[in-house]
Chains A and B, each alone.
Chain A
Amino acid sequence: MIRAVIVMNTQGKPRFAKFYDFQPVEKQQELIRSVHGVLCSRAENLSNFVEAESIFGPDSRLVYKHFATLYFVFVFNSSENELAMLDLIQVFVETLDKCFKNVCELDLVFHYTKVRNSLEFYQLCLQNSFWLAGLSLLFKASGLSNSACIPLMPCLQIITRSVVLAMTDYLDSQVNKLSYSWTTHLPH
């Protein structure tokens, strides 16, 4: 399961942070700091894995991606596939990009709620956070239009809806762009 999602800028200021195991706030800040400490010492074009057991305890792995001024960090345990997680970051970022039209750090700063909603949308089940539940939905392009997942209730922010639409568009057009997981596997 996914244990934490952190978005922070290259200076180490958190822009978005969600911990799925309860952590006291001081501990959260400390974790973010130590993650930043590790990430900022890494050069460009290296692999996206970082040894995380010293920071998050046993059975934890960390993947990150660096876009412009932002680090996107996912922490998870051995029940997740590393490459799949990298793809998730990619989806997350591209979704944000769709939402904000050329997403930049300021967008995340000013639209905290939007980011949270977009994350929540395809994360769906918080604790074990099966993003894949949402993602597999998106795989099935045919199933998208009649999906119960698109919120119809007026009280849900329209934002969420736009995120869904953005993701749909995105997946229709760019399915092949993702590197690791997106080719659907067809036995026989």
Chain B
Amino acid sequence: MAGSSLMETLFQRTLDDLIKALRLQLLGESAFISKAMDEIRREIKSTDPQTKSTALQKLSYLSSLHGIDMNWAAFHVVEVMSASRFAQKKIGYLAASQSFHEATPVLLLITNQLRKDLTSTNEFEVSLALDCLSRIATIDLARDLTPEIFTLLSSTKPFVRKKAISVVLRVFGKFPDAVRVCFKRLVENLDSSDPRILSAVVGVFCELTSQDPRSYLPLAPEFYRILADSKNNWVLIKVLKIFKNLAPLEPRLARKIVEPITEHMRRTDAKSLMFECIRTVVTSLSDFESAVKLAVERTREFLVDDDPNLKYLGLHALSILVPKHSWAVLENKEVVIKSLSDVDPNVKLESLRLVMAMVYDNNVAEICRVLVNIAIKSDPEFCNEILGSILATCGENVYEIVIDFDWYVSLLGEMSRIPHCQKGEEIETQLIDIGMRVKDARPTLVMVGRDLLIDPALLGNPFMHRILSAAAWVSGEYVQFSGKPFELLEALLQPRCNLLPPSVRAVYVQSAFKVSVFCLNSYVQEQYVESSLYVDTSTENDSESISTRDCQDASNLREQVETLSRVQTCTSASLEDNGSSIGSIVELLDFIQFSLGPLTWSHDVELLERSRHLLNFIELIRQQIPDGSSEMELAEISKIVELVLDAFSDDFGPISVNAQERVTIPEGLIFKENLDDLEMLCSDTQLPESSFSFGSSLYEERVNSSILSQRSQQESEPSNATTSLLSEHRKRHGLYYLPSDKTDDASNDYPPANELKLQDHLDDDAAHLVKLTERSLALKRKSTSAKPRPVVVRLDEGDELPVTRKKPQSKDEQLSDAVRNVLVGSDVMPISSQTNQSSKPSSRRKGKEKQNADNLSESKENLGDVEEQSNTVDTSSRRTHRRHGKEGKQSSHEKRSEKKDQVHKKGKRMSSQQHSRHKAKQSGDASLPVASQTVIPDFLL
């Protein structure tokens, strides 16, 4: 055994050998690696620590760069970690930090090893353990090792101390109770003069405050001191980030830090610090005019820089400012617009965002024009970004900024024709949505829809299909605004339509249905008018059938007749022969039958059914047509047409998102029943072999009742058969059926699928008044255009999906509670009351850690219990002095410095560094403006 081990050691491949061999291998990488893995598996079992650790090193290399799993070696990792030689131990620790995670079972075994290394006298071993712990600490590890870390936090070796500080972050995250033990020491490290320690501890607080800023407000004076004194850019950046989070919570603090930050902005040459200052000002100090001005000035330097990084960040800073200070962007308008055609995608995107933030109702048209022109010229990706942001901005809050819908609808049409456009879905939604919400936009919508439909070239582009489906629906639904319905029909039934997916095709067919009904109706009406027959009766008929569809005012018949005749002339003009109307109608019917014929064999259920509906309807009409001029037949036709027209006459409105929720669940319908035994149930009914394909029905239409009855008569025999089967099934498994009185006629028991929804929708309309969109815009933004904004239907609620607020994680809460506990003394006390708290002697006696409670800088001065009492008195008296004018303050100043001097003489651990800090504090104090000092008692003591 010893011999083989020796052999292995001598002839083992090191990591370097492995890497070299890996590059020279001829048998393929994966084969080579699996061979090497076999080798490693053998070597890692060796008793010789050197062989074992080298094997582990190779394994962690392969795992890191070649994605080899190394979880299986977890126990070997533990073994190598406990090696006595440092080089081997190091390999073990590295492997552990690389591969261990919460679920690794052997984590339980390493607690003692870690503890041993953390308490080692060798600082490098300590640092290895700390490094590892910072990656793999679990709740258990953090809890068990907190005392060791606490000790290391005041290590004399900066090398160890700063690592211990960093580890604290992870430990706090895992085990919030550690705060009670470690927090005070951590805070003490803020006074360190060593830049490494300082930057580490500031970094830790930067992370902590980003999670929960409120808890760390009491530490603001400490951070302020660093902000004012530090000369280290890295530390300053971190402190600025801390203040960025703290400042919004405490207006007094914001007032305090403006001064030093502007000072940094004036002085620094380092771009990174400059940017951090700018970012802090624009996010958290945007109320301070002078600071913002300076920040914008500096941002401009970034904007005109050649470096794309700076340009990008400058634009980013501006975009943060936009909501509050839009002038900043206006000032830099040229740069922003120019950046839209920059080569850099980041810069382009950021400037696009800025431009969109500047859009108001009075400039939306111009800006969109510019943007669309840029979109046409730019690459596909950015083009779609532009289109997407136009759609999002204009559609925001139910088209709040759009006033001229005719313009917007034609813009949508234009946008869909841009070759790179991939925003079909969004455009589709908006086209339909506008159709339903904005009555006045419908004529333009139909026009735009027609332009899209008649262009056969568009059919070939798959991205267009969604838009075309919307266009088809719109032109079918609002066909009365169309000048040439015949043309529309031709467009809807053109041969190239077979390029469309079935779901869109179904919409086309349905729209063709509506259009043809409309044509027939106008023909019938015209016949009536021409022959002047039944004038009296037709008045009622007319007003009934059309009023709902065409205009609200039913009595205005004459106008209607005029429009009808206009339409009729148009339709007849569109036909080539221009002959008798009856001829043109017959031609129309022929055309529809001809084009829909092939669809009756379609595999898509939706498409099949809709085309059948239309064809059957035409068949009905055709029966009456042979010499359709006679009165009787005309009346017959008009009866059918009116029936169908009636079905289409309901105006669609927007539906609230939570409409479904308002539908009451019928009595006795059990949703939460366990449906396991359905399996058994289904097994005794034979399912058909072929699977159904349900085309997604995009728009719910009310199916014409006459056709329905027709069809049901035709199909009475098969339906009877199914009914009997169904009723038999019902007898056996009554549970899964709705309760019913009539058991025979089961098929009639089921309400039509659309009924409920439609009913609800009507209720909706009744409940929610159609109202003008509230113009929440500021006065200055008021539009100058003369055109009044059309009515936009808007639901009171449920236009947007309800946003569920994310709950903060319990762990974070625990941590912040713990921190608050330590800092403030008790979690009941709100932070803002901390100023009063220090004057209460009771809070001082709460415990050793909680001495830290009130003001931290004060707590440093508490050297012993003897001092404490006088100190407390001093503080409280100082506070009372403050409230009286200058004299009182003067005296308190003196008192304080006196006291500090005393402390300095007595105190053993008071070092020179603290003395200098004390000085700095005094100078900072002296520069305080009088007014703010009375308001801010605690900062900068």
Q: Give the complex CA separation of A79 and B237 in angstroms.
A: 9
Q: Give the complex CA separation of A128 and B164 in angstroms.
A: 11
B276 and A125 within 8 A (CB): no
- Which residues of chain B are within 8 angstroms of A14 by Cβ–Cβ distance? 64-65
A187 and B269 within 8 A (CB): no
Minimum distance in angstroms from B108 CB to a CB of chain A: 17
Mark A2-42 against chain B: 1 for CB-CB distance below 8 A, else 0.
00000000000011111010100110110000000000001
- Which residues of chain A are within 8 angstroms of B269 by Cβ–Cβ distance? 183, 185
B264 and A187 within 8 A (CB): yes
Mark A117-138 against chain B: 1 for CB-CB distance below 8 A, else 0.
0000000111110101111110
Say yes or no: A43-B343 contact (C-beta < 8 A), given A126-B97, A130-B200.
Answer: yes
Chain B binding surface SS class: helix
Say yes or no: A181-B19 contact (C-beta < 8 A), given A139-B232, A151-B124.
Answer: no
Say yes or no: A22-B162 contact (C-beta < 8 A), given A112-B19, A148-B157, A185-B267.
Answer: no
B234 and A84 within 8 A (CB): yes
Stretch at the interface among B112-120, B203-211, B517-525, B577-585: B203-211
Contact of B309 among A15, A16, A29, A83 (CB under 8 A): A83
Question: Quick check: is A159 within 8 A (CB to CB) of the other chain?
Answer: no
Question: Quick check: is B753 within 8 A (CB to CB) of the other chain?
Answer: no
Q: Which of B248-268 contact A (CB under 8 A)?
A: 263-264, 267-268
Question: Quick check: is B933 within 8 A (CB to CB) of the other chain?
Answer: no
Contact of B233 among A22, A125, A127, A184 (CB under 8 A): A184
- Which residues of chain B are within 8 angstroms of A181 by Cβ–Cβ distance? 233-234, 270-273
A127 and B167 within 8 A (CB): yes
Contact of B346 among A46, A86, A137 (CB under 8 A): A46
Q: Give the complex CA separation of A110 and B100 in angstroms.
A: 26
Question: Quick check: is B937 within 8 A (CB to CB) of the other chain?
Answer: no
Categorize the interface residue count of chain A: 35 or more
Q: Give the complex CA separation of A144 and B65 in angstroms.
A: 34
Q: Quick one: closest B residue to A134, CB to CB?
A: B196
Q: Give the complex CA separation of A153 and B131 in angstroms.
A: 18
Q: Give the complex CA separation of A182 and B272 in angstroms.
A: 9
- Which residues of chain B are within 8 angstroms of A183 by Cβ–Cβ distance? 233, 268-270
Mark B151-180 against chain A: 1 for CB-CB distance below 8 A, else 0.
000000111001101110110000000000
B61 and A112 within 8 A (CB): yes
Q: Quick one: closest A residue to B208, CB to CB?
A: A79
Q: Quick one: closest A residue to B164, CB to CB?
A: A125
Question: Quick check: is A113 within 8 A (CB to CB) of the other chain?
Answer: yes
A136 and B308 within 8 A (CB): no
Contact of B273 among A109, A113, A185 (CB under 8 A): A185
Contact of B231 among A20, A135, A184 (CB under 8 A): A184
Mark A61-101 against chain B: 1 for CB-CB distance below 8 A, else 0.
00000000000000000110111101100000000000000
Q: Give the complex CA separation of A26 and B68 in angstroms.
A: 8
- Which residues of chain A are within 8 angstroms of B124 by Cβ–Cβ distance? 151, 153, 156
Say yes or no: A25-B67 contact (C-beta < 8 A), given A112-B61, A133-B200, A136-B199.
Answer: yes
A128 and B311 within 8 A (CB): no
Question: Quick check: is B87 within 8 A (CB to CB) of the other chain?
Answer: yes
Question: Quick check: is A55 within 8 A (CB to CB) of the other chain?
Answer: no
A87 and B264 within 8 A (CB): no
Say yes or no: A128-B166 contact (C-beta < 8 A), given A47-B308, A49-B309, A179-B271.
Answer: yes
B87 and A155 within 8 A (CB): yes
Say yes or no: A79-B167 contact (C-beta < 8 A), given A181-B273, A187-B267.
Answer: no
Question: Quick check: is B101 within 8 A (CB to CB) of the other chain?
Answer: yes
B162 and A130 within 8 A (CB): yes
Q: Give the complex CA separation of A185 and B195 in angstroms.
A: 14
Q: Give the complex CA separation of A47 and B312 in angstroms.
A: 8
A79 and B203 within 8 A (CB): yes
- Which residues of chain B are within 8 angstroms of A82 by Cβ–Cβ distance? 272, 275, 309, 313
Q: Give the complex CA separation of A48 and B63 in angstroms.
A: 29
B233 and A185 within 8 A (CB): yes
Q: Give the complex CA separation of A185 and B234 in angstroms.
A: 10
Categorize the interface residue count of chain B: 35 or more
Q: Give the complex CA separation of A34 and B238 in angstroms.
A: 30
A155 and B64 within 8 A (CB): no
Q: Give the complex CA separation of A169 and B126 in angstroms.
A: 29
- Which residues of chain A are within 8 angstroms of B198 by Cβ–Cβ distance? 136
Q: Give the complex CA separation of A50 and B343 in angstroms.
A: 15
Say yes or no: A84-B15 contact (C-beta < 8 A), given A14-B65, A126-B131, A132-B235.
Answer: no
Minimum distance in angstroms from B277 CB to a CB of chain A: 11
- Which residues of chain A are within 8 angstroms of B20 by Cβ–Cβ distance? 110
- Which residues of chain A are within 8 angstroms of B135 by Cβ–Cβ distance? 20, 22, 126-127
- Which residues of chain A are within 8 angstroms of B344 by Cβ–Cβ distance? 46-47
Question: Quick check: is A140 within 8 A (CB to CB) of the other chain?
Answer: yes
Q: Which of A141-188 contact B (CB under 8 A)?
A: 143, 148-149, 151, 153, 155-156, 179-187
Contact of B15 among A43, A46, A112, A153 (CB under 8 A): A112
B207 and A1 within 8 A (CB): yes
Q: Give the complex CA separation of A49 and B308 in angstroms.
A: 10
- Which residues of chain A are within 8 angstroms of B86 by Cβ–Cβ distance? 153, 155-156
B158 and A81 within 8 A (CB): no
Question: Quick check: is B496 within 8 A (CB to CB) of the other chain?
Answer: no
Q: Give the complex CA separation of A27 and B392 in angstroms.
A: 34
Minimum distance in angstroms from B285 CB to a CB of chain A: 18
B270 and A132 within 8 A (CB): no
Q: Quick one: closest A residue to B207, CB to CB?
A: A79
Q: Quick one: closest B residue to A140, CB to CB?
A: B195
Question: Quick check: is B821 within 8 A (CB to CB) of the other chain?
Answer: no
Q: Give the complex CA separation of A126 and B98 in angstroms.
A: 11
A127 and B237 within 8 A (CB): no
Minimum distance in angstroms from A45 CB to a CB of chain B: 8
Contact of A83 among B65, B163, B313 (CB under 8 A): B313
Among A16, A125, A137, A155: residue with most chain B CB under 10 A: A125
Minimum distance in angstroms from B449 CB to a CB of chain A: 35
- Which residues of chain B are within 8 angstroms of A112 by Cβ–Cβ distance? 15, 19, 61, 65
A126 and B134 within 8 A (CB): yes
B347 and A47 within 8 A (CB): yes
Mark B292-313 against chain A: 1 for CB-CB distance below 8 A, else 0.
0000000000000001110111
Question: Quick check: is B55 within 8 A (CB to CB) of the other chain?
Answer: no
Question: Quick check: is B650 within 8 A (CB to CB) of the other chain?
Answer: no
Q: Quick one: closest A residue to B275, CB to CB?
A: A83
Mark B51-64 against chain A: 1 for CB-CB distance below 8 A, else 0.
00000000001011
Say yes or no: A109-B23 contact (C-beta < 8 A), given A83-B275, A127-B170, A148-B158.
Answer: yes
Q: Give the complex CA separation of A156 and B334 in angstroms.
A: 57
Mark B809-825 against chain A: 1 for CB-CB distance below 8 A, else 0.
00000000000000000
Question: Quick check: is B345 within 8 A (CB to CB) of the other chain?
Answer: yes
Question: Quick check: is B236 within 8 A (CB to CB) of the other chain?
Answer: yes
- Which residues of chain A are within 8 angstroms of B417 by Cβ–Cβ distance? none
- Which residues of chain B are within 8 angstroms of A187 by Cβ–Cβ distance? 231, 263-264, 267
Q: Which of B117-148 contact A (CB under 8 A)?
A: 122-124, 130-132, 134-136
Q: Quick one: closest B residue to A30, CB to CB?
A: B67
Minimum distance in angstroms from B142 CB to a CB of chain A: 12
Q: Give the complex CA separation of A82 and B273 in angstroms.
A: 10
Q: Which of B196-248 contact A (CB under 8 A)?
A: 196-200, 203-204, 206-207, 210, 231-238, 241
A180 and B343 within 8 A (CB): no
A79 and B199 within 8 A (CB): no
Q: Give the complex CA separation of A14 and B66 in angstroms.
A: 8
Contact of A127 among B65, B67, B134 (CB under 8 A): B134
Minimum distance in angstroms from B922 CB to a CB of chain A: 15
Q: Give the complex CA separation of A46 and B308 in angstroms.
A: 6
What are 21 A-B pairs at a CB distance below 8 A? A14-B65, A18-B64, A26-B67, A42-B345, A49-B346, A79-B203, A83-B271, A83-B313, A112-B15, A113-B15, A127-B169, A128-B134, A130-B162, A132-B199, A136-B195, A137-B195, A143-B195, A148-B123, A180-B270, A180-B271, A185-B236
The 3 tightest CB contacts between A and B, nearest first, are: A127-B134, A125-B166, A132-B234
Known contacts A17-B65, A47-B309, then 8 further A-B pairs from the complex at CB < 8 Å, ordered by chain A residue:
A48-B309, A125-B166, A125-B200, A127-B166, A130-B162, A133-B199, A136-B235, A148-B157
